[in-house]
Amino acid sequence: MKNIIDLIVIGAGPAGLMTAKRAAELGLKVTIIELKKDITHIKRACSAQFVTDEGYENETIKIEDNKIIFTKNRFYINYTGRLLNIINNYHHSPSGHKLHLSHPDHRPFAIKFDKGHLLADLWRDCEKLGVKLLLETVAYRGKDLGDHVRIDIRNHKKTSSILAKKLVIAEGANAKLTGLFGLNKGRVLHGTPFVFSCIIEGATGFEPQSWNQFYGSKYHPFAEVIIESAIEGNDAIELTIMGTRNLRPDVLFEKFIKDSPMKYHFTNAHVIERRGCSLKSYDSLQKPYIGNVLAIGDSAAHVEVIVQGALMCGYHAANAINDELIGINGFEKYTSWWNKSFNFNHTNPLEFVNLYSSLAMRPKYSDEELDYMFSLLEGTSICGNFSQFEVPKNIWKAILSHKDQIQSEKPALFEKIKNIDKLNQEGKLN
């Protein structure tokens, strides 16, 4: 068939670019379709740190010689941008009691990076390999025709179609095209959170190389507020806050910096960059493919795979496409890897929500109860792992080591927490 290429990739984020890079290395002809005009200009609120936990997502990352090395998946990418080690993780109660998470040897639990720079490095490698990138282009419709896929695209009001033997969807968490190809059928939508993030200069009182989370109604009506050291400068911080359509995160941000106990730290601060996003929180896809179409990364996930997970998805997706094209069932091999590597794939989504929201602790626990529990652990350090699955377990394990004292001093609080340690490993607490 004329004018048919090997692979179309939807989305030029980390997952999509990694898919294209690896596929081109394997000799495939690849076209990427991307909505944005400049992939290096990051306007979306998103995770931009590598988690260095041993075995996180079945991987242990090393960074050396301008390379991000995936030691277990056996590949690397080039990265020539800035890096910032995050060493201390603090959880703050309404009255200022702190839980401290860190490694005893002070090694970083996360390493922040410049996402725009990372995407530029990835695209540079793709371009050298002959990958075609269609910018400011919308994939608005498509069809699997059995022996190939057709994607209908729009670029500056002009429409056309591209034909390919296989399609990889790496469009992110909103999963619109994923749904058009039938992969969202039967998928439960748990909600559509809105996120606001900004880079701030001139704020005071925040330790360099730290990650901070603030809990309680004085800060937020139902979630934590996150403040972390920013890669943009020595005194810059990044503040992230979640909201809903009816309780907008930018409004909650203004309240936090003007009316919360933290307001004094923002007297002379100014915002230098704003980012935001909304996302659809679906069940994870246990089978992320249908016919000639494979959905990867956040398109198929329940929560963010974050950048390192996206890169792994892209690498394995390209290998799967190559296998499929030579008659091997690569999609099944990818599916097996996908389900084994990410905790949310073997965790009941509601159990994960309960686990994570139990750490946010609002509105289940009053500000007074949060202050009391945090005060029990002040001055001690908890294991410095950064995984969203491990952190709640480690914090609750530390709190519950004081169970007898809590039962004696706060019997009503004890009734709320007494069964937490009965939750199991499959996404629940020990």
How many residues are present in the chain?
430
Q: Which structural domain, as residue segments, surrounds residue 379? A: 349-422
Clarify whether residues 331 and 367 are in a common domain. no
Indicate the pTM of the whole model: 0.93
Q: What integer is the mean pLDDT of 415-424?
A: 71
* Burial of 83 per CB tally in 10 Å (0-12, 13-18, 19+): middle
Clarify whether residues 37 and 126 are in a common domain. yes
Separation CA 371–CA 216 (nearest Å): 9
Residue 53 identity = D
Torsion-angle region of residue 216: left (phi > 0), alpha (psi -120 to 50) or beta? Answer: left
Residue 82 covered by a domain:
no
Residue 60 covered by a domain:
no
Give the pLDDT confidence score for residue 362 in this predicted structure.
46
- Which tokens go with 269? 């601060």
Give the pLDDT confidence score for residue 218 in this predicted structure.
92
Residue 164 covered by a domain:
yes
Closest Cα to residue 427, out of 389, 400, 399, 387? 389
Clarify whether residues 337 and 405 are in a common domain. no
Give the pLDDT confidence score for residue 390 in this predicted structure.
82
Residue 19: how many other CB atoms lie within 10 Å? 36
Give the pLDDT confidence score for residue 427 in this predicted structure.
41
- pLDDT tens column, 78-92: 999 999 999 999 999
Clarify whether residues 34 and 155 are in a common domain. yes
Clarify whether residues 247 and 375 are in a common domain. no
Q: What is the mean pLDDT of the chain?
A: 90
- Residue, of 368 and 278, whose pLDDT is higher: 368
Clarify whether residues 199 and 266 are in a common domain. yes
Separation CA 422–CA 420 (nearest Å): 5
- pLDDT tens column, 106-115: 999 999 999 9
Clarify whether residues 267 and 338 are in a common domain. no
> Which CATH number covers residue 326?
3.50.50.60
Give the pLDDT confidence score for residue 280 in this predicted structure.
83
Counting other chains too, the contacts that 207-211 makes at CB distance below 8 Å and 24 or more residues apart are 207/88, 207/90, 208/234, 209/84, 209/85, 209/86, 209/87, 209/88, 209/108, 210/86, 210/87, 210/88, 210/89, 210/90, 211/86, 211/88, 211/89, 211/90, 211/110
Residue 376 covered by a domain:
yes
User: Binning pLDDT at 50, 70 and 90, where does residue 211 land?
Assistant: very high
Give the pLDDT confidence score for residue 354 in this predicted structure.
55
Torsion-angle region of residue 124: left (phi > 0), alpha (psi -120 to 50) or beta? Answer: alpha
Residue 55 covered by a domain:
no
User: Binning pLDDT at 50, 70 and 90, where does residue 430 land?
Assistant: very low
- pLDDT tens column, 330-379: 999 999 999 999 988 876 655 555 555 555 554 578 999 999 999 999 88
Task: Indicate the residue among 344, 366, 383 that finishes a domain.
Answer: 344
Clarify whether residues 219 and 325 are in a common domain. no
Phi, psi of 245 (to 5 degrees): -60, -35
Residue 385 covered by a domain:
yes
Separation CA 339–CA 323 (nearest Å): 19
Clarify whether residues 258 and 236 are in a common domain. yes
Indicate the SS3 state at residue 327: coil
326 CB contacts (<8 Å, ≥6 apart)? none
Residue 85 covered by a domain:
no
CB 340 within 8 A of CB 333: no
Instruction: Tabulate helix, strand, coil % of the chain (nearest 5).
Output: 30, 30, 40
Clarify whether residues 25 and 132 are in a common domain. yes
CB 90 within 8 A of CB 122: no
Separation CA 10–CA 86 (nearest Å): 32
Domains contained in the chain, number: 3
CB 46 within 8 A of CB 308: no
- pLDDT tens column, 113-140: 999 999 999 999 999 999 999 999 999 9
Clarify whether residues 130 and 273 are in a common domain. no
Give the pLDDT confidence score for residue 189 in this predicted structure.
84
265 CB contacts (<8 Å, ≥6 apart)? 203, 204, 205, 206
Separation CA 33–CA 19 (nearest Å): 13
> Which CATH number covers residue 264?
3.30.70
Clarify whether residues 265 and 252 are in a common domain. yes
69-83, 171-185, 380-394 — most confident range: 69-83
Q: What integer is the mean pLDDT of 23-37?
A: 97
Task: Indicate the residue among 300, 328, 344 that finishes a domain.
Answer: 344
Indicate the SS3 state at residue 42: coil
Residue 9 covered by a domain:
yes
Task: Indicate the residue among 278, 299, 318 that finishes a domain.
Answer: 278
Instruction: Work out the end-to-end distance of the chain between its first and last CA atoms, rounded to an integer number of angstroms.
Output: 57
Question: ∠ CA(89), CA(90), CA(93), 5° rounding?
Answer: 155
